Amino acid sequence: MKTPRLITFDIFGTVLDWRSGLERACAAAGRPLAQGEFDRIVDLQAELEHHQFLIYAEITRRSLVRAIGLEDGRAAEIGRAVGRWPLYADSREALRALMRTTRCAAMTNSDRDHGEQVQEQLGFRLNDWLCAEDARVYKPDAAFWGVMARRTGIEPGPEWWHASAYADYDLATANSLGLTTVFVKRPHARPVDGKYSVENLTQLTELFSAAR
C-alpha cells in the first residue's frame, strides 16, 4: 500500500452535520422540514450548481425559496451562516489527530466565509481549504480535484485519499481519478463502493494509521 501523502475531506455531511443543521435552521425560521424535503433541497442545489456559477450562500437561498417556499430574507440569512451548523462529535479530534501525520485539506461546495465559520468551530485550520468560491466550480466536476492538485503539487492517485459521505458529490469522481476513497457512513449518506468504508472519522484515523 502506498503511504498516504494527502487526505481531502468533503465538509457538509461528512465533517459537519448538514441535515440536522439545515433542519434546525429552517425550524428556527418558522418552516420546519417535512420528511423528504431535505433531499429535495439538496437535489435542487445540485441542479443549481450546474448552471451559471453562483456562490453557495446564494444557491442555498434560492433552493430554500424554491423547494419549500421559505421567505427570501430568512433563506438568505440561513445561506450566510451554514458554516455554523454543528460538527459531528468525532470530527474535531479526528481531524486534529490526522493532521499530526499527514496533510489534511477541505474540498467543499461552499464559500470562503463558510470555511472560516467551520474552522472557527474546529478551533484550528486545516492545511488547505478549497471551496467552490475559489475553485469557481462545484463538485462532482473533476476540475475541482484539478485545482487541489495544482495547489498541493500532488497528482491524483492512490497516495491521495478522499473521505466523504456522498457518492454523487465526491466518491464517484474520486474513484474515477484513481484516488483512495473512504466512504463515511453518516446518518444522511449516499453510498458508493470505495476502497474503504468507516462509521465515522475516528475509525478513519485508525485506518489511516494502519496504512502508514
Q: What is the DSSP string of 143-181?
A: HHHHHHHHHHT--SSTTEEEEESBIIIIIHHHHHTT-EE
| 116-164 tens-digit pLDDT | 999 999 999 999 999 999 999 999 999 999 999 999 999 999 999 999 9
In angstroms, what CA-CA distances link 85 with 47, 67, 92, 149, 206? 23, 20, 14, 28, 26
Torsion of CA 56, 23, 64, 111, to 10 degrees: -10
- What is the model's pTM? 0.95
**Residue-level pLDDT at 190:** 83
**Is 194 strand, coil or helix?**
coil
pLDDT of residue 2: 65
Looking at residue 192, its pLDDT comes to 73
Nearest partner of 14 among 205, 210, 199, judged by Cα: 199
Task: Give me the pLDDT at residue 1, please.
Answer: 56
pLDDT for position 116: 98
Q: Which portions of the chain are predicted below pLDDT 70?
A: 1-2, 193-194, 212
- Per-residue pLDDT, 211: 72
Residue 84 is given by DSSP the state G
Nearest to 173, CA basis, from 146, 196, 140: 140
| pLDDT at site 179 | 96
